[in-house]
Amino acid sequence: MTTFAEAAIEADPTLPIIRITRDFAATPEQLLRAHTDPELFARWVGPDATSTKIDYWDARTGGCWRYVASHDGQEYGFRGTFHEVRPDRIVQTFTFEGEPDGVALETLRFEPLGDGRTRLHAQSLVDSIEGRDAWLRSGMETGVNEGYAKLDRLLADGAA
């Protein structure tokens, strides 16, 4: 059986979608709570050098959220709505306020694997391939020189 001890990413070449799969040593309930409880969420969402301040947060179907991430004295606002919050999935919109026209539709699914383990399926849909590629590039300035991966996940799908 395939496991996703590390995050696996898939950037569909034909659709403006990014998919990430990752396994967690936690129950679906715990994973849901870590995504819906603002205090818990703020503890893991931002990079280490970033502090996340929740502005408002109503993790119910039809609710909305906003948080501000601070990094090097700069503040970045993010906001969206919880379209659907259920034990096994969260559907929400996501906008970076620096680019308010861009809206990602995010679907998170919590798949129970048994034994207190859960597989997270996270999908982000944006409105264009160009916009998706901008997402992939975002934050590249802050990325330390990690070196390039040579041949690639994307090809692995089609050619391996």
Partner 1 sequence: MFSSTKWLRSVVTDQLSRVFAALADPTRRDIVARLAVGDASVGQLAAPYAMSVQAVSKHLRVLEDSGLVSRGSDTGHRRPVHLEAEVLDLMTGWIERYRRRAEQRYRRLDAVLAAMDETDRTTPDPTTSDRTGTGRTGLTEEGAAP
Note the residues at the interface with partner 1 (CB under 8 A).
6-9, 11, 13-14, 18, 20, 22, 24-26, 30-31, 33-34, 36-40, 43-45, 47-48, 59-60, 71, 76, 96, 98-99, 120, 129-130, 133-143, 146, 148-155, 158-159
Q: Is the dihedral of CA 130, 132, 135, 137 positive or negative?
A: negative
Shortest distance (Å) from residue 119 CB to partner 1: 12
Output 8 or 64, the one with its CB closest to partner 1: 8
Distance of closest approach, residue 94 Cβ to partner 1, in angstroms: 14
| Rounded alpha-carbon distances, angstroms, from residue 87 to 42, 115, 155 | 20, 18, 34
Taking the complex as a whole, the smallest distance from the CB of residue 88 to partner 1 amounts, in Å, to: 15
Q: How far is the CB of 1 from partner 1 (least distance, A)?
A: 20
Closest CB to partner 1 among residues 13, 73: 13
For residue 95, what are the CA distances in angstroms to 15, 16, 103? 19, 16, 5
Nearer to partner 1, 114 or 158 (CB): 158
Report residue 45: phi and psi, to 5°.
-70, -40
3-class DSSP assignment, residue 113? strand
**Least gap, CB of 26 to partner 1 (angstroms):** 4
Question: CA–CA separation, 135 vs 50, rounded Å?
Answer: 18
Residue ranges of alpha helices (H) inside 1-159 are 28-36, 38-44, 129-137, 153-159
| Nearer to partner 1 among residue 1 and residue 143 (C-beta) | 143
